[in-house]
Structure 1
């Protein structure tokens, strides 16, 4: 059957393609002043009044021309009829899809207008046909290292070498082809005795006992060599294909998957692939993630030994080690927390990719996402031939954003911010994002009530999975801050500053993200003090103690003696003298001496753990909240001492 005969056959039954189509003309002539004129095989409209262009092909040779023809006709229709992309629907109808499917899939992914493909199956006698909708293939997103890594520790260089071979063998058996493996030497700066002491202190804090009560610990082995792996991200289907080799695992996975969100499911699937047999040999194993890789990389006692590439990472001779390290750190936006890139504005592929990456990276920060996408479009108009450097730090850690920024020595590195520098012969403009004081903040107990069931332990548990919170923008607002965007123009007179407000740039005083954050801290000093004094006593360095802070005080209570003495604190203050949190939410109140100060204060449990000297006569008294008031339950004075007063 000739192509013209196929066209005529379809025109008689055009509703087999789509039920709402009305044929307007066969061989619709479309002039094109910028190229060759052409004829659309079938020109129709749908029920919405859209222009439907139907391109018909009947051989592999002809199908290869289809996409070129479509592009030409679409531009001609837009020019000739004054049509918008949103008013165009293209249908490619072909009897052969062997050589058309891949380019069609890429075209469908890239195009801005509506596009569908149909396989035409003609009856043997050539009098009728039926159609099959063609589903585009999933287009590869290119290189993208999954943010779920593996970290294998070894005791010496020989064990590391054997471990690397074991990893490579295990990955090969699991059909994991595309990955990078970075080996480290990590010098342990603690002696065996010091490591035992640290572990003893950690156990005592978690259990709420004195260090002397911890059972003797065995010698802790030293692991100073690391093999760190990051994989090219798998599709859900690829993960299931790998897992299907183990019937028990795949059965459990398929049972759990339906209840999971897409990202959670993908994380679970990657972890399941990593956990299935065969497992690489190691002396100790940890889950890795970009932030952990960054800390390992920046540690002064850490040294990269080798970067081993496999699969597509090895085949890409233009891929630098620096780029691999950057992507393992998550600077490609894979974690939604960091992003770093330099692009040419006149490169449309760069711009399209950048916008997609920004949308993905800032999916949980809608304010900055909309601001930065707007800024990119502004740069395209005002500086079309420029290059831009963009760097984003978006931790999405809510309360811990305030805590980390105020307690770390390098705290300014934990302040959310972004910078976009425009290079146009000279640096002519900079955009930056900052946290700025906004509305009145809730109190810390109100924050806990609203987001963490009134429980500090629930907040601390969030850190065990990295501390990232999808409610970050809401929490930040309730903390009295807001994500803002600013612009700085370089002029002959100096620098002019603007703030984006109500979708318009408005003149503002010179500023920077550190100054704005400092002003927020100063204005909300009481709230910041509450956050730090409540969280800091639970910070054990390696982890946050999410156990109840009252456990260590419970053992000091002598209720029999307390009931016998029946002494209450008269005139108790409504809130802690240090953090100003209300005592109505506390189990205990301590009236005690502050360490190294000689002054006394009424303290909550957390402040006592940080600043209190002890529970004993002359150091501090422990009171329990009861319906009648604050009952003295610890730190009693002996009767003999009472008589001498």
Structure 2
């Protein structure tokens, strides 16, 4: 290939041969002048129209040094055709024509996917007998990269020392790679006084088209999660090769570490997460493995800006995920976030959601001790300029209705202790928990605090709209909304809690319980 021709000569030759780009494309004008009331004026190298009548600004480049300017130019011309000529967005598309694509191919790939204007790329080969030898070939954008994230599947193995952990990490990663899981984060958590503990391995999201992934086996009767089912099957397949391995979920790592007083001693990485070592430190990687900011069904700690559409959408999806099984908070919080999103500003939103969705378990493990840390709660804030932000707080509240027979109220949801154990085992506790709360007169409530108001308002969903109920005249009060602490003061849960505790045997370091009775 020869590129000794000037950029202007290539432009003129291309203007005479627009059909080489696309059949039916016709010239409007070379060096078309566009006014720019918002900045500098511009001259479109070639303005054409395609066979459907759509206007096509064509930017011509002949070297890497100038090619990098092409993206800026075509986007500017498309916008100016709309802004200065009043064209609709569907009346404009663009073409980048260049002799060299080394510097251009990556930004072209991105802009061709994300621009509202269709952007086409063509490579020009001037040949040896220019202009007769000039050839034009379409440029194919690079394939969409696989975005790396952690799935909801994890594997846990007991370890006796660091050497044991290293061996199990190596063995387990080999098994997982065989079934299509390339990206992994491993957390070694040990007791401070010795090296015993666990190896928790969080599985990355696999390539859905990877032939190594295990296929669904309907005859096996394996109940799979709706989210990341392929990764769950891969975890099970790898776990079969390691008798000590247990397939688990990310949120259990935090609970297991707290129950057994474990500390993070080392973080392992593989695949993309190893490549991120210079971007994400071990502390953040360990937090990722616990999914405090990811796909966690119990705990979410995350933030996002309303103007960053992709990150905001991901944030909203993860809020919905952690609130699964909690229709009261889900509906109100969705409406509240919709309202924030539609304020038309760039707003930072910070949320912490703790939604165990098992009030009975909270009582059993926390009654008489640190119950408050086990009770569902939402804390959130909108950080806005000029001090017009807001805070929200969600918690369980009591309607004040007396409970004459506590056992009878509990039996509405769980006729026996074993029924509660079975609901936990099969993942049905989310549904029965709502029955229990209603029987006890409890509900999930959400409150909003504004900077110009000394008292909060209760947020409720009414006919698909968000409604604010101001505090009563006597202070922070609403009809049928009383603190959970008042219920605990009026009703002695001690005998019920003790009865359940006597039917429970801790196993696996207190992370699991055998429930009988």
CA deviation after TM superposition for structure 1 residue 8, in Å: 5.3
Structure 1 residue 293 displacement after superposition: 0.6
Give the equivalent residue in structure 1 for 2:6.
Answer: none
Residue 3 of structure 2: aligned partner: none
Identify if the C-alpha distance between structure 1 residues 286 and 473 changes in structure 2 by more than 3 Å, giving closer, same or farther: closer
Indicate the larger mover: 92-101 or 410-419. Answer: 92-101
> Whole-Å Cα distance in 2 between the matches of residues 89 and 285 of structure 1?
57
Determine if contact 2:302/2:315 at 8 Å carries over to the other structure. Answer: no
1:265 Cα deviation after fit: 3.8
- Inter-CA distance 374–227: structure 2 relative to 1 (3 Å threshold): same
5+ residue gaps, structure 2, are 1-8, 325-329, 402-408
The Cα shift of 1:55 comes to 4.1
1:28-177 to structure 2, matched below 5 A, reads 29-32=33-36, 33-39=38-44, 41-42=46-47, 53=56, 55=58, 61=64, 64-81=68-85, 87=90, 90-92=93-95, 100-108=104-112, 110-111=114-115, 113=116, 115=118, 117=120, 134=140, 137-139=143-145, 141=147, 144-156=149-161, 159-167=164-172
- CA distance in 1 between partners of 2:418 and 2:96 (Å): 61
Structure 1 position 72, deviation (Å)? 1.5
Deviations 1:47-87 (A, max 9, x none): 8x9x76554657674654432223312432343245676x5
Check whether the contact 2:455–2:471 (CA below 8 A) recurs between aligned residues.
no
- For the pair shown, the structure with the greater C-alpha radius of gyration is 1
Structure 2 equivalent of residue 184 of structure 1: 189
Do the aligned partners of 1:7 and 1:56 also contact (CA within 8 Å) in 2?
A: no
**Could you tell me which residue of structure 1 aligns to residue 320 of structure 2?**
362
Q: Secondary structure at the match of 2:266?
A: strand
Contact residue 432 and residue 487 of structure 1 kept, 8 A: yes
Over 3 Å counting, the alpha-carbon distance change for 1:420 and 1:167 in structure 2 is same
Partner of 1:432: 393
> Is the 1:151–1:287 Cα contact (8 Å) retained in structure 2?
yes
Partner Cα distance (1:154, 1:68) in 2:
56
| Residue 404 (structure 1) aligned with residue 361 (structure 2) | yes
Residue 233 (str. 1) matches residue 241 (str. 2): no
Which of 487, 501, 510 is matched with 2:448 structurally? 487
Please, which of 284, 298, 306 is the counterpart of residue 266 of structure 2? 306
User: C-alpha offsets along residues 483-517 of structure 1, whole Å, 9 cap, x if unaligned?
Assistant: 665321234x744546365346553456699x958
2-structure distance, mates of 1:272, 1:288: 10
What CA distance in whole angstroms lies between the structure 2 residues aligned with 1:333 and 1:455? 35
Task: Name the SS for the 2:352 alignment partner.
Answer: strand
> Structure 1 length normalisation: TM-score?
0.54
1:483 and 1:43 mapped to 2: Cα distance? 61
Structure 2: how far apart are the matches of 1:444 and 1:16?
75
Residue pair 1:30, 1:40 contacting (<8 A) in 2 also = no
The answer to whether the Cα contact below 8 Å between 1:40 and 1:55 also exists between their aligned partners in 2 is yes
> How far 1:294 moved relative to its partner?
0.9
2:272 corresponds to 1:267:
no
Describe the SS at the equivalent of 2:451.
strand
Partner-residue secondary structure (3-state), 1:420: strand
Q: Give TM-score scaled by structure 2 length.
A: 0.65
Distance 2:419 2:136 in 1: 63
- CA shift, 1:226, in A, is 1.7
| Alpha-carbon shift at residue 292 of structure 1 (Å) | 0.9
Could you say which residue in structure 2 is the equivalent of 1:591?
none
Name the SS for the 1:295 alignment partner. Answer: helix
Which whole-Å CA distance do the structure 2 matches of 1:338 and 1:89 have between them? 46
Q: Is the 8 A contact 2:471 2:477 kept in 1?
A: no
